[in-house]
Each structure stands twice: as structure tokens, then as C-alpha cells.
Amino acid sequence: MVIMIDMKNMHIPLPIQWYEKLSEISKERNTSATELVRNAVIQFLKEEEKKKVALAIEEFAIEFGGTDFDLDNELEEAGLESLRKV
């Protein structure tokens, strides 16, 4: 459930077949179509944000790997050692 704080409305036209499917699913789940769409959009946006962060980390690693900004060698070895114990 989403807490309604500082919300904005958006009109999203759907082809009739998708509108009907959404309506059917919302009835089956005893919830509103609006809530289903809101949750799907929020999930999509969270996944996009995760992809953006992962890409930024990857780009940083490619650019700074092997430099002074790379992982501290002692810290890296300690991490590997702790993994070996598991």
C-alpha cells in the first residue's frame, strides 16, 4: 500500500484490450486498477534506479580500477580471508 503524500495525477490512455485486462485483474485482486498501475510504475522506477546505480559503479570501477581509488589491498585481502573461513 502506498501512503498518499504529495501525489500528482497522470492520465494514461490504454488500448481497450489492456484496459479490460487491468480491470479484470483489479476485480480478481479486490483492489483498484489505479493501485495496480501505481505499484507497477513504482516498481519499474525502483528497478531503473538500481540499474542506474549499478552502471555508475561499473563505470567507476572501469575508470579507477588499479588506481589509488581502487579498493585498499589490505581491506581486500581481509575480505577474501573472511570469505575463505565461511
Q: Is the pLDDT of residue 55 over 80?
A: yes
Between CA 85 and CA 78 the distance in angstroms is 11
∠67-75-54 over CA atoms, to 5°?
A: 65
Summarised one tens digit per residue, pLDDT across range 26-49 is 999 999 999 999 999 999 999 999
Q: Is the pLDDT of residue 70 over 80?
A: no
Does this model's pTM top 0.85? My answer is: no
The residue to which cell 549499478 is assigned: 54
Residue 78 host element (H or E): helix 73-85
How high is the pLDDT of residue 1?
60
The confidence band for 2, taking pLDDT boundaries of 50, 70 and 90, is: low
Mention every residue, 6+ apart, whose C-beta is less than 8 A from residue 18: none
Q: How far is CA 66 from CA 23, 63, 76, in A?
A: 54, 9, 13
